[in-house]
Amino acid sequence: MDNVGRGQGADGETAVSGQGGGMAVRSLCFDDLQIGMNESLSHEVTAADVAGFAQLTGDRNPIHLSEEYAANSQFQRRIAHGIYTASLISAVLGTRLPGPGVIYISQTLNFRAPVFIGDRVDVKVEIAELVPERRRARMACACTVRGETVLEGEAWVKVPPRS
């Protein structure tokens, strides 16, 4: 992924991912978390991303793969799979906030607008609620393109304790 992520860490430092080589991985335990902590990444959606996602999932809807078909659709050009866009949220949760060891419990998704090939998707997750007795966190999630919300929702995750 060609992305840049920045977020406020538990120690007040800003964590920055690398470019070109993938996102830096940071692991936090439940005790490190605070409401309002957030992480983000940006990713430009490529034709190869969409084709690879279609191959991986078997979702070969021509709205994603055929310029000719898409030209006659309401969007007039190819769009990325909505779930592909949502998977960028998973990338943040699993590698940055909270990070490795997190267990996805649930995710709501509200698709607001299409994502086109070539769009740069900005993904942000923020801790909205903490449930200490269950080591769970409710994360507010949003994906935007040029400032317009294309996807929003909430994720519940279970966060590992300190080892």
- Domains of the chain are 6-158 (3.10.129.10)
pLDDT surpasses 80 at 23: no
Band (pLDDT 50/70/90 cuts) for residue 15 is: very low
Which residue do the tokens 């769970």 mark?
136
pLDDT surpasses 90 at 138: yes
Which whole-number Å values give the CA distances from 4 to 14, 16, 100, 140, 144, in the listed order? 12, 7, 18, 19, 15
Tell me the two tokens of residue 22: 């993938």
Sheet strands (E) in the chain: 6-8, 14-16, 38-44, 103-107, 110-111, 120-131, 136-145, 148-158
Do 102 and 27 meet the contact criterion of CB atoms below 8 Å apart?
A: no
Q: What is the pTM of this model?
A: 0.83
pLDDT of residue 24: 61
pLDDT surpasses 50 at 130: yes
What is the chain's mean pLDDT, rounded? Answer: 88
pLDDT of residue 42: 97
Residue type, 136: R
pLDDT of residue 21: 44
Give start and end residues of each alpha helix (H) in 1-160. Answer: 47-57, 62-65, 67-71, 82-95
